[in-house]
Structure 1
Amino acid sequence: MVLGLASDHAGYEMKEFIKQYLLGKGYSVNDYGTNSGDSCDYADYAHPLAEAVEKGENQFGLAFCGSGNGINISLNRHKGIRSAYCWKTEIAELARLHNDANICTVPARFIEKDLCIEIIEKFLATAFEGGRHQCRIEKIEIE
């Protein structure tokens, strides 16, 4: 499975931690930055990640910023992206089951690394349930 990662400066440390974890688990990872803890703008990294997920270059994306909000909002500006703000494993599971989320966004300043791993593992291991949820997903996109 190929995963795309992106963060701003506040999510950089968590992104790097998760990247090493995923590589150790045998995942392929595309890193869209940032590449340091220097102050930067989350949208500069969210948009390349979203575009790569839209094109199918990554099966899923993982995004990190301080609160999780800014990068999540930027990601969701893209048609075909359903980025879910996940701070608990149950939220990550429901994001996949009911919303067919294709990017998991984590608030790096507000969760511990062990919980971040649990959230991402749950997100990646959960399949979209389909059924009654499919028509709801189809209503998200506005032409």
Structure 2
Amino acid sequence: MSRRTSRPPRPTAGGPPAGCPCGSAETYAACCGRFHRGEAPAPTAEALMRSRYSAFVQRDEAYLLRTWHPRTRPPRVEFEAGTRWTGLEIVATGEGSAFHSTGTVTFRASYRGGSLHERSRFERVDGAWVYVDGEFLD
């Protein structure tokens, strides 16, 4: 189990590129962007959770659908108009490593005006981590 707080840094005028929306100090291109572009699969359930959060920030519907379990995948992703995601906190993880076939990630995703607290379930399908479903908490 782990507890980490991740808030995306804000870009500074003339400074280096801001970190990834998932909270990593790496740039989006070097972090979640490589998963979104299909250059590599997310190696753990937590990495997939972080990349899916970044996909919500980027409104990358194709990636979200591609990483959703086929039995629970909706026909499309509805993005809330006006929602501005402001940070991700990983509260806990259970299994979900390269040695597991299932995993859970409990997180809090903040947006302007509130937050979403969820325990998500992940499974491997053909060797790749996919999101199955989630239980809202609080």
TM-score, normalized by length of structure 1?
A: 0.30
> Which structure dedicates a bigger proportion of its chain to helix?
1
TM-score, normalized by length of structure 2?
A: 0.31
